[in-house]
Amino acid sequence: MTEFIEDTRAIPPAVSLIALVALVIVLIAAFGGVLLSNSTNAVETPPEMRVQFDNTPGGDLTVTHLEGDSVNPEKLEITFVSIDSTQETTMTLDNAGNYSAVSTDIQGDRFAPGDSFDVTTDDIQIIWIAQESDETVFVGSYP
């Protein structure tokens, strides 16, 4: 009569299949996490904001952030023309307080609703600039 020899050294096929499926799931999760984390930081969302322009009795133009997102002043570029129309100046809002034609009333480190700045000018244009790309968004202009 034939005797069957039982070999207990090999892994049963069901266990190896489960181990292979688990390995594939772990690899997919790891690579998916890396790909998703890189793509979410790639695009900077432009702010939604509304500004108002008011002439003051002293001849200045007051720009007030009425509503919307708070914005880092480094990302707001303001361009204005001098009253006598001889000079056009462009700067970011965070540097504007150092210029004699601009006085800022920004609370904290963000240009937020309720904040304002005064400019001695008749013409002004405000543009938001993305940090990591060339994207710009028109915020407002006067007149």
Indicate the SS3 state at residue 117.
Answer: strand
Looking at residue 130, its amino acid is: A
Q: Render pLDDT for 78-109 as a digit per residue (tens, 0 to 9).
A: 888 766 667 778 888 877 666 666 777 777 78
First to last CA, the chain: 107
- Joined tokens for residue 1: 């009569």
Where do the structural domains in the chain lie, given as residue ranges? 49-142
The hierarchical CATH code for the domain 49-142 is 2.60.40
For CA atoms 48, 129, 73, 77, the dihedral sign is: negative
Residue 67 clears pLDDT 90, i.e. is over it: yes
In the block, tokens 């969302």 appear at: 45
Span 123-132, mean pLDDT?
A: 85
